[in-house]
Amino acid sequence: MKVAKDLVAASATPMVLGILADGESYGYAILRRINELSGGELDWTEGLLYPLLHRLERLGYAQSSWQSVAGERRRKYYRITDKGLAELAEQRRQWDTVTDALKEIWLGLGERGPLTAIPLGCRA
């Protein structure tokens, strides 16, 4: 199963903000974390992640700093700001509304029956 592109794009901001809320992080680690959390289903590209990080920085939701690791190698770390935390709370409220509504609908469908016709576990 592949998650649709639009859905990936829509959920990207709260996911990154959520991961950053855990502590500062950098691009590669964020990508790994997303991969882990979704069990490999969310396949983010670098072209999605880095411009998104830059946008969060531009909007003031995150701050970045260069730190040197392992000799000459430099790594750009991102840290969430207060504004970013507020945005995360707001996004979370919106997502809760959407998922709650969806859950209600799924449940209603389940009571009426036809959902059972859809095979679950299409992941495998």
Partner 1 sequence: MTARTGQEELAAQFEQWRRYVLRRRELQPSDADELEDHLRGSVDELIAAGLSPDEAFLVAVKRMGSLDELSREFAREHSERLWKQLVLTGEAGSPAADTRSRRDMWAMVICAAGAAVSIKAPELFGLRLADDGAFYARNFALFALPWLAVFLAWRRHARRPLIATLVALFGLGAVAANAYPLAEESKSLVLTSIHLPIALWLVVGLAYVADDWRSSRRRMDFIRFTGEWLIYFVLIALGGGVLSLFLYHTFNAIGIIPQEFISQWLLPCGAVAGAVVAGWLVEAKQSVVENIAPVLTRLFTPLFTAALLAFLVAVGWTSHGINVDREALILFDLLLIVVLGLLLYSISARDPLAPTGLFDKLQLALVVSALAIDVLVLLAITARITDEYGTTPNRAAALGENLILLANLAYSAWLLLRFIRRRAPFTALERWQTGYLPVYAGWAWIVVLLFPPLFSYV
Residues within the interface to partner 1 (CB under 8 A): 26-29, 31, 45-48, 50-52, 54-55, 58, 66, 73-76
83: Cβ–Cβ under 8 A, 6 or more apart, which residues? 59, 60, 61
- Residue with Cβ nearer partner 1 (54 or 83): 54
- Residue with Cβ nearer partner 1 (19 or 52): 52
Residue 75 Cβ vs partner 1, minimum distance, rounded to whole Å? 5
* Three-state secondary structure call for residue 48: helix
- Residue with Cβ nearer partner 1 (76 or 83): 76
Q: How many angstroms from the chain centroid is the CA of residue 68? A: 26
Residue 119 Cβ vs partner 1, minimum distance, rounded to whole Å? 31
- Residue with Cβ nearer partner 1 (55 or 92): 55
Which residue type sits at 72? E
- Report the C-alpha gap between 42 and 29 in whole angstroms: 14
Residue 78 Cβ vs partner 1, minimum distance, rounded to whole Å? 10
- Number of other CB atoms surrounding residue 79 within 10 Å: 13
Q: Which residue has the tokens 């997502």?
A: 95
Residue 3 Cβ vs partner 1, minimum distance, rounded to whole Å? 17
